[in-house]
Amino acid sequence: MTAKRTTILQRSDHTVSRQFIDRDALQVMHRLNRNGYKAYLVGGSVRDLLLGRIPKDFDISTDAEPSDIKRLFRNCFLVGRRFRLAHIRFGRHKVIETSTFRKQPTTNESADNLVQWDDNQFGTPEEDAFRRDFTINALFYDLHDFCVIDHVGGLADLRKQLVRTIGDPNIRFREDPVRMIRAVRFAGRLGFRLETRTRRAIIKHADEILLAAPARLLEEMYKLFGMSASEPSFRLLWQLDIMHVLMPELCNYIKDTGGRKSPLWRVLTALDQGGLFEGTAHHALLLSTLFQGPMVSACADLHTLHDVNVACANWLEPIATRFRMPRGVRYRVLRLVENQIRFLQLQERFVSGRKSKSILRFVAHPSFAESLALLKLRAAAGLVAPEAVSFWEDMAKKHGGELSVSTCRDKVEGGETVPRRRRRRRRRKRSHEA
């Protein structure tokens, strides 16, 4: 496919300024340019800069091949099996992802299964724009002359606030079903509408979403929590019936608790407003905001810790299996939700005059602060009394419990580990046994 009309916006006609571009990303583009390669800022960063938002990350596309990039940057690591990408690392945490222009593999539209596993062919900048998912994600910024280049009609869609697939949405979603969740992410986060054909295609192909690799689905789900937009994003996922396919268990809870008025939406709104977990939250904490409602309901009238553990584990099992949730995440979700029940049980015990060592142990436990953060969200959503939060905050202060999630996080990661299956160590052969 080629561009009918490529639009080039000169520097004076757009708002993208180098001032807002990451210095290391600028340096990467400069070095590629100096060595005779084309290099554009691409994807979400150009979209966000044009919208006056702060980009989450800065991606670069170039005609330099991965081995050329590796040669130019000592801090470059080639990653990816399907497509070799260059990760250029700065410091401990920053990665500037630099990919070689590539083209969309040809699709046999009449085939039953269009899912693509091989997209490893280099292409031109224009072909690279067309292989991307949505028009608003396919804009290029050229540091050479400060122009914004649009091969796909992305500038018009940015103005109209539309998420539109590049090409036929029925094909693009079947090639990569994860794009359906991505469409929801951008619409939810930016407050954009889904263009009509794009929306219809999602409704039509939602059933096929589980054809995508579980790890990618889980990763995209985590991203729905980002940028303080979890409520609009998950609500759209639910409205478009994608959630029915991904997590029917959660949909049952939403239906039973008032549909669009379900308390789940209030919990997610509280999460978005609190900025509590932004950027730092452990995946388990994010997932537990989604699952706490149905899991706590599954424990209604259960009194022993053992019964609560079993009920929570049974509820989570099918979802954890479906997404191949890592054992550590699964274990932590269980603990965070079980602790919601412990909060109430231990408080009742205390109020009825029974002094309990369990309270001291509970407050000192590494998972306490995260569990309390979740309790606060539930209180903000009206699911528990605000007094429960103040009670536990007082207890924490009195007994030296941790109140901040970030410090607690380090502790949880360092202090509390998933019980591991014990492995036998191989006995080393001694030299005289050789």
Q: Are strands 140-142 and 76-79 parallel, antiparallel or unpaired?
A: unpaired
Cα 255 from Cα 294, distance rounded (Å): 11
Q: Which helix (H) or strand (E) holds 97?
A: strand 94-100
Torsion-angle region of residue 2: left (phi > 0), alpha (psi -120 to 50) or beta? beta
**Smallest distance from ligand ATP to CB 136, Å:** 8
Q: Using CB under 6 A as the criterion, which residues of the chain lie in contact with ligand ATP when the complex forms? A: 43-44, 56-57, 59, 132-133, 137-138, 176, 178-179, 223
Closer residue to Mg ion in complex, CB, 179/330: 179
HSE-up of residue 255 (Cα within 13 Å, Cβ side) = 9
**Contact of 371 with 264, CB cutoff 8 Å:** no
59 labelled catalytic:
yes
Binds 138: which of ligand ATP, Mg ion, none (CB < 5-8 Å by kind): ligand ATP
Nearer to ligand ATP, 286 or 388 (CB): 286
Residue (98 or 339) nearer to ligand ATP, CB: 98
| Vertex 151: Cα angle to 146 and 157 (nearest 5) | 95
DSSP state for residue 422 in the 8-state scheme: P
CB of 210 to ligand ATP, least distance (A): 16
For residues 163 and 365, give the distance between their C-alpha atoms in angstroms, rounded to a whole number. Answer: 45
- 157 phi and psi angles, rounded to 5 deg: -70, -30
From the CB of 48, what's the least distance to Mg ion, in Å?
A: 9
Binding site for Mg ion (CB under 5 A): 44, 57
Please identify, using beta-carbon distances, which residue of 188 and 366 lies nearer to ligand ATP: 188
**Tokens in use for 318?**
């099918």
Cβ at position 323, least distance to ligand ATP in Å: 17
Is the CB of 3 or the CB of 360 nearer to ligand ATP? 3
Annotated active-site residue in 48, 59, 157, 272:
59
Active-site annotation holds for 133: yes
- Give CA–CA dist 381/267, Å, rounded: 5
24, 57, 68, 176: the catalytic one is 57
Q: 137 contacts which partner out of ligand ATP, Mg ion, none, CB within 5 to 8 A by kind?
A: ligand ATP
Give least dist CB 353 to ligand ATP, A: 52
68 is catalytic: no
Catalytic residue list: 57, 59, 133
